[in-house]
Structure 1
Amino acid sequence: MAKKFFVYGTLLEGFINYEKYLKGKIITREYAKTKGELYHLVDCGYPAMVDGCDYVYGELIDFEDYTNTVREIDEMEHYFGENNANNEYNRLEIEVELLEGKGCETAYAYIYNLKSAEELRSKDIYIKDGDWKKFCNKHNAKHKNLAG
């Protein structure tokens, strides 16, 4: 069972949910990437990672008080349990590649519970380079105020 998490959105350092859920709780942080496609959910103001062949960039983190932190993050991510149809995101184990050639690790990540690929692709913004932080900076988003 993985103990580390791959984060790519509002749980990244400097974003609102990092401040609320992770600040002061991180043991280690490393820059990493994983296979997938990344979208900015226009109606929500936060990202969604789905299966794909591109790379999604983020941080591989390990935190203190694993049980309580995961419970809080699960609630924030609207994760109600394995295979629950009401999940907004599913918490899955994925393979993560550390940047700078440091190897690979298994980690948990919140993968968007995709109901319809066509709906996602028609109304939300595909982030080709897989970097939501860069997307926010480029679009002058006030990412510290983003909810979600």
Structure 2
Amino acid sequence: MTLPFFVYGTLRPGEPHHGTFLRGRTHTEEPARLTGAVLYDGPGYPYAVEETGSVVVGELITPLPDAYGELLAALDRLEEYAPGDARNLYERVAREVVRDADGATLRAWVYVAAPAVAARLRARGEPIADGDWRARG
């Protein structure tokens, strides 16, 4: 399935991994929001944990068609995601996100905290109140 990506942390424009992974590989980068998730502060990067009632701020990234496969593999490696691996820190899931410019709802890949990580964060994590990694204190 070929979907855009919703990024909310170190892959956002101006953040450390954007230049390394996304520069020159994207068709569009648009402000967007993921509803139904809480953003938690991690060790130098955030985790989105699926939960009702909250919003995560980020960007909807549409890769260039000829860069898609390579970018998907690179992001899976960055996020330490392998399908079905119990050691995953993140899971890559398809979710609805809302594009800020026009309110359109689009399906996108989102890396969310894997179940064990999400349970730890819910129990002892530091939520980022406004759901915006850039605005964290």
TM-score normalized with structure 1 length: 0.83
Unaligned stretches of 5+ residues in structure 1: 140-148
Count of aligned pairs between the two proteins? 133
Aligned to 2:110: 109
- Hey, what's the Cα distance between the residues in 1 that align with 2:117 and 2:63? 33
Partner letter of residue 76 of structure 1? L
Q: How does 1:77-92 map to 2 (within 5 A)?
A: 77-81=79-83, 83-92=84-93
Aligned to 2:62: 62
Q: Tell me the secondary structure at the aligned position of residue 19 of structure 1.
A: helix
Q: How does 1:103-142 map to 2 (within 5 A)?
A: 103-115=104-116, 117=118, 119-135=120-136, 139=137
Aligned to 2:47: 48
Unaligned stretches of 5+ residues in structure 2: none
> Structure 1: which 4+ aligned runs deviate by more than 4 Å?
none
Partner letter of residue 134 of structure 2? K
Deviation at 1:120, TM superposition (A): 1.4
Deviation at 1:121, TM superposition (A): 3.7
2:30–2:59 contact (8 Å) kept in structure 1:
yes
1:2–1:106 contact (8 Å) kept in structure 2:
no
Deviation at 1:117, TM superposition (A): 4.9
- Hey, what's the Cα distance between the residues in 2 that align with 1:22 and 1:106? 19
- Hey, what's the Cα distance between the residues in 1 that align with 2:117 and 2:24? 37
Deviation at 1:74, TM superposition (A): 0.4
Structure 1 residues 115 and 29: alpha-carbon distance in aligned structure 2, compared to 1, 3 A threshold:
same
Deviation at 1:93, TM superposition (A): 0.1
1:34–1:95 contact (8 Å) kept in structure 2:
yes
Partner letter of residue 39 of structure 1? Y
Deviation at 1:7, TM superposition (A): 0.3
1:2–1:93 contact (8 Å) kept in structure 2:
no
Deviation at 1:118, TM superposition (A): 5.4
Q: Does 1:96 align with 2:114?
A: no
Q: Tell me the secondary structure at the aligned position of residue 120 of structure 2.
A: helix
Calculate the aligned-residue CA RMSD, in Å. Answer: 1.5
**What does the per-residue CA deviation read over 1:109-147, in whole Å, with 9 as the maximum and x for residues that have no partner?**
001113165531454320121101111xxx3xxxxxxxx
TM-score normalized with structure 2 length: 0.89
- Hey, what's the Cα distance between the residues in 2 that align with 1:38 and 1:62? 22
- Hey, what's the Cα distance between the residues in 2 that align with 1:14 and 1:116? 26
